[in-house]
């Protein structure tokens, strides 16, 4: 015969099972919230300073308070049979923790996916060696800026920049030195540009600078300033290696102009600068070329 009557045994097992189940749900809920808090803290560290980071930090504090509430409820009911309302609270707590975890996981995975998409998009429009925009991005932006300038009657200018005797640099110093020259030039060009200006590698040793809201005369001055800066600044790693650049400029015409013509005029001006002796700025006008060299005011 059993030592405990069947009816008593069933009652005890039922009571213990219900109590253990509720306690288990609470502890699992605490574990889920702790995991959620870990995700939130990881995401907060990856975000830059700002409003979004502050909001995620606030969410972390709220989750921490939830954890304290769960543990408090668990402690108060430790070893005590749960009443029906208390059982409902424990179940709600559990599914609340599941909900918080799902939201945090979804937010984190969405953030990582957006970051991955941003990196891929950045790679498609950026030159891998120099970190500036590439030809693909430039072609799109020129079209956009030309249409915008024509629509609102705005000034738009463009500089075509080419390194003088770049093949000789590669042949004499090696291709690694050539890469250093390209990086050196891109850094110098960026230093004197505005945030609205667009610097892109056009191909090989050629660069294009798109200058929104810039009239022809200001484009001349900037081009000459860039030419002098490159001429007077040696490479940090190879001080004895000096390079110069030739620059062609063009500006959007009031009527009937387009992106292709704007680029073509700047390209012709740049090749004119090379034919005239290099290390100079040449601008294309309707009535001919204007040249600027070492004696440019």
- pLDDT exceeds 50 at position 104: yes
- pLDDT exceeds 70 at position 165: yes
- The superfamily in CATH containing domain 135-292 is Reverse transcriptase/Diguanylate cyclase domain (3.30.70.270)
- pLDDT exceeds 70 at position 197: yes
Mean pLDDT of 174-193: 94
- pLDDT exceeds 90 at position 87: no
- CA torsion 96-97-101-103 (nearest 10°) is 20
What average pLDDT does the structure give for the chain? 87
The domain limits of the chain are: 6-125, 135-292
Q: Choosing from 9, 113, 144, 205, which is the catalytic residue? A: 205
| 148 contacts: CB under 8 Å, gap ≥ 6 | 154, 212
Q: For residues 25 and 9, what is the distance between their CA atoms, to the nearest angstrom?
A: 24
Q: Which residue has the higher pLDDT, 266 or 11?
A: 266
Q: For residues 229 and 36, what is the distance between their CA atoms, to the nearest angstrom?
A: 53
Residue 14 has a pLDDT of 47
Residue 286 has a pLDDT of 57
* DSSP string for residues in 212-242: ET--HHHHHHHHHHHHHHHHH---SS-TT--
CB 235 within 8 A of CB 181: yes
Q: What is the pLDDT of residues 259-290, one digit of tens each?
A: 999 999 999 999 999 999 999 999 986 555 66
| 123 contacts: CB under 8 Å, gap ≥ 6 | none
Distance of CA 94 to the CA centre of its chain: 39
Q: Is 205 a catalytic residue?
A: yes
Residue 16 has a pLDDT of 46
CA angle 147, 252, 220 (to 5 degrees): 135
The string over 69-86, giving b where at least 16 C-beta atoms fall within 10 Å of a residue's C-beta and e elsewhere, is ebeebbeebeeeebeeee
Q: What is the pLDDT of residues 117-145, one digit of tens each?
A: 888 887 788 999 999 999 999 999 999 99
Q: Which residue has the higher pLDDT, 286 or 165?
A: 165
CB atoms within 10 A of CB 46: 12
Three-state secondary-structure class, residue 274: helix
Residue 157 has a pLDDT of 97
Residue 287 has a pLDDT of 55
- pLDDT exceeds 90 at position 296: no
Q: Which of 26, 19, 103, 108 is nearest to 68 (CA)?
A: 26
Where in the chain does DSSP place strands (E)?
Answer: 156-163, 198-203, 206-212, 245-251, 281-285, 288-292
CB 169 within 8 A of CB 177: yes
Lowest mean pLDDT among 59-63, 191-195, 238-242: 238-242
CB 218 within 8 A of CB 161: no
- pLDDT exceeds 50 at position 9: no
CB 135 within 8 A of CB 203: yes
Residue 288 has a pLDDT of 59
pLDDT tier at 3, thresholds 50, 70, 90: very low
Q: For residues 79 and 230, what is the distance between their CA atoms, to the nearest angstrom?
A: 80
Highest mean pLDDT among 16-30, 38-52, 177-191: 177-191
pLDDT tier at 295, thresholds 50, 70, 90: very low
């Amino acid at each position: 015969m059993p030592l405990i009557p069947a009816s008593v045994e069933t009652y005890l097992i039922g009571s213990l099972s219900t109590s253990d189940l509720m306690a288990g749900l609470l502890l699992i809920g605490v574990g889920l919230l702790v995991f959620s808090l870990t995700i939130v803290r990881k995401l907060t560290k990856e975000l830059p300073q700002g409003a979004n980071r502050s909001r995620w930090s606030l969410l972390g504090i709220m989750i921490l308070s939830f954890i304290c509430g769960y543990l408090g409820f668990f402690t108060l009911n430790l070893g005590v049979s749960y009443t029906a309302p208390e059982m409902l609270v424990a179940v709600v707590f559990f599914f609340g923790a599941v909900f918080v975890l799902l939201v945090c996981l979804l937010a984190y995975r969405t953030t990582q996916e957006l970051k991955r998409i941003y990196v891929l998009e950045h790679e498609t429009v950026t030159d891998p060696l120099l970190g500036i925009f590439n030809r693909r991005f430039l072609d799109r932006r020129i079209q956009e800026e030309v249409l915008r300038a024509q629509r609102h009657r705005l000034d738009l200018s463009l500089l075509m920049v080419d390194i003088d005797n770049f093949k000789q640099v590669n042949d004499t110093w090696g291709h690694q030195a050539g890469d250093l020259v390209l990086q050196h030039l891109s850094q110098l060009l960026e230093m004197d540009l505005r945030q609205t200006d667009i610097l892109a590698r056009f191909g090989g040793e050629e660069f294009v600078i798109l200058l929104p809201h810039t009239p022809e005369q200001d484009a001349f001055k900037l081009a000459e300033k860039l030419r002098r800066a490159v001429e007077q600044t040696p490479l940090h790693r190879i001080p004895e290696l000096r390079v110069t650049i030739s620059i062609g400029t063009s500006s959007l015409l009031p009527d009937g102009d387009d992106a292709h013509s704007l680029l073509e005029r700047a390209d012709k001006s740049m090749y004119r600068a090379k034919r005239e002796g290099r290390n100079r700025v040449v601008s294309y006008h309707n009535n001919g070329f204007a040249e600027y060299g070492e004696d440019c005011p």
